[in-house]
Amino acid sequence: MYQFLVALSLISSVLAAPAADLVNNLPGLTFNPNFKHYSGYVQAASTRYFHYWFTESMRNPGTDPLVLWLNGGPGCSSLGGLIEELGPFHVSNNGNSVYLNQWAWNTYANVIFLESPAGVGFSYSSDGNVTVNDDDVANQNHNALLDWYNKFPEYKGRDFYITGESYGGIYLPTLGVLLSKDKTNFPNFKGVAVGNGIISFPWNDNTMIPLFYYHGLVRDELYQNVKKTCCNGNIETCDIDNVYDNTPGCKTIINRAFSAADDLDPYNLYDFCYLSPNGPGMNKKQFIKRMIRTKVNKRVEWAPKMRVKRAVTNNDADNTTLPLCAQEDNTYNYLNRDDVRKALHIPTSLPRWTDCSNSVGNHYHTIYDNMTQQVNTILAAGIRMLFYNGDVDTVCNHVMNMKFLSDLNLSILGTEKVNQLWHYQGELKDVNVAGTHMSYKGGLDFLTVRGSGHFVPEDRPREALQMIYNFINNKDYSTAVPG
C-alpha cells in the first residue's frame, strides 16, 4: 500500500506541476540534474507579480517537505540565496558555468526561492509602483504562496517550513503569523528558521559597540567615552538609539564607534579574499547594511554609499583565474544572459536583474522594530522556530538574538551552563565544532554557527545543510545527514 501511495503521489506531481514553467535546458550546466526545477510567476496582489524558482528535492520530491526561502534587504533577491548560498546551481567563470552545490538544501527538501516584494530581481509591478511596508509584504507573500499552490496543488498538504535571513527577520515572523492562522490552506505549516535576522533593531544597535570593543575594533578610550558620556557608566543597559538622538555629544562618538568595522567585511569580520574592495560585487552587502542601519531613521550620516553595479568586462584581467570568492559578478552576469532569461521564462520587457533594488529599498516603509509579538503568536500556535546566527557577523549580530530571546522569558531546557556545542557529522573533535545551541520550552531553538558571517549557507554550507535537515526532522543538531 505504501509503495502504491508513493507512486500515486509521483504521478500526481507529474500531472499537476505547470509544464509551462518547467526549466528544460538551463544554459551553462556542467552536470546533469537529477531533479526537476520550475521558474515562473505567481500573483501577489492585483498589480504585483512575484518570480519564483522552484527546485524539487533530489531525494524524494513526492514525500519530502516543502521549504520557502526569502532573502532580506529589504529589497534583495532570493536568487542570490539560490545561486550563492543554498541552491543547487552555483555559478563560476564570470557567469558562463553552472556547477552543483553539493550542500544544496534541496538534497532533502523541495525548495521555493521567491523574489519578494515586487521590484526585486525579476518580480514586477504592472503599474510601476513598488512602495510597500512590512504588513504589505507579509500579505503579498501569503497571496503568492496561495497562487503557487494553484500551480502545484500536490504540495498543499505537505509539511511546510519558511526560512530566510537578514531582513527575513521581519519577513518571516510576519508571514508566519498569517500562515499559522490559515489552517485551511496551510494545514501542515510546521516551522520557521531565521538566519542572522534583524528581529530587534534596538537590541542590534545596543549590542554593537560592546561587540566591536570585545573584538578589538574600538579603543578603550572611545569605549569609555561612550560609556561615560552617553550611558551613565553602564553600556550594557544603554539605550543607544535614545541617547544618539537626545544626548548632546553622543551622535559624534557613537558614529565613530559604529564605523569601527567599515574597513573590514562587517558581514564576516574574519573573512578575506584577494579581490578589489571597490568591485561591483560589494553592492549587495553595502545595500543590506545601509537598509538595516537606516530603516528606523538612525545614523543616516554614516550609512555607506552605494556603488553602481556593472558587468565584468574584458579589462577585468582573467577573472576566471581568480579564486571563486573573487569572481564577484558571476550571479549578475549569469542571470542577465539572454539565453538564461529565456530558459527561466522571464519577459523580455523586464529590466536587467540586480541583486538588490534601490527603488524597493528607498520606498520601503518599516513598521516593526521588534518581533516579540509575532514570535509569541507563532510559538503559541505550536509552530517550531529556529534562530541561527553566524557568530562573526556584525550587521545582524548574534548577541542581539540572545538578548531578544532572553526578553521572551521562556524556560531554557536543561540545567544552567555554558551553551551546548553542536558538531558537524556528530564528531567530537575540536575541528568539527559547528557552533553552540540552546533550546527553550515551547519549541524554540537558538544556534550559533562557528566562524560564519551573515550568510551562513555560503560561509558554512555543510553545517547549514546539517542544521536545516535536523531542524526539519526535529533531531539533535549534531546528527549527521543521511549519506
- Catalytic positions are 166, 393, 454
Largest interatomic CA distance in the chain: 74
Q: What distance in Å separates the CA atoms of residue 195 and residue 168, rounded to the nearest whole number?
A: 8
Residue 184 cell numbers, joined: 485551511
**With contact defined as beta carbons under 8 Å apart, do 75 and 287 qualify?**
yes
Residue 141 cell numbers, joined: 507573500
Q: What distance in Å separates the CA atoms of residue 445 and residue 439, rounded to the nearest whole number?
A: 4
Q: What distance in Å separates the CA atoms of residue 470 and residue 464, rounded to the nearest whole number?
A: 10
Q: What distance in Å separates the CA atoms of residue 344 and residue 112, rounded to the nearest whole number?
A: 14
Torsion sign across C-alpha atoms 144, 147, 152, 157: positive
Helical axes 250-258 vs 220-230, angle rounded to 10°: 140
Residue 64 cell numbers, joined: 519530502
SS3 string, the chain, reads CHHHHHHHHHHHHHHHCCHHHECCCCCCECCCCCCCEEEEEEEEECCEEEEEEEECCCCCCCCCCEEEEECCCCCECHHHHHHHHHCCEEEEHHHCEEEECCCCHHHCCEEEEECCCCCCCCCEECCCCCCEEHHHHHHHHHHHHHHHHHHCHHHCCCCEEEEEECCHHHHHHHHHHHHHHCCCCCCCEEEEEEECCCCEHHHHHHHHHHHHHHCCCCCHHHHHHHHHHHCCCCHHHCCHHHHHHHCCCHHHHHHHHHCCCCCCCCCCCCCCCCCCCCCHHHHHHHHHHHHHHHCCCCCHHHCCCCCCCCCCCCCCCCHHHCCHHHCCCHHHHHHCCHHHHHHCCCCCCCCCCCCECHHHHHCEECCCCECHHHHHHHHHCCCEEEEEEECCCCCCCHHHHHHHHHHCCCCECCCCCCCEEEEHHHCCCHHHEEEEEEEECCCEEEEEECCCCCCHHHHCHHHHHHHHHHHHCCCCCCCCCCC
Give backbone dihedrals phi and psi of 200, rounded to 5 degrees, phi first.
-155, 105
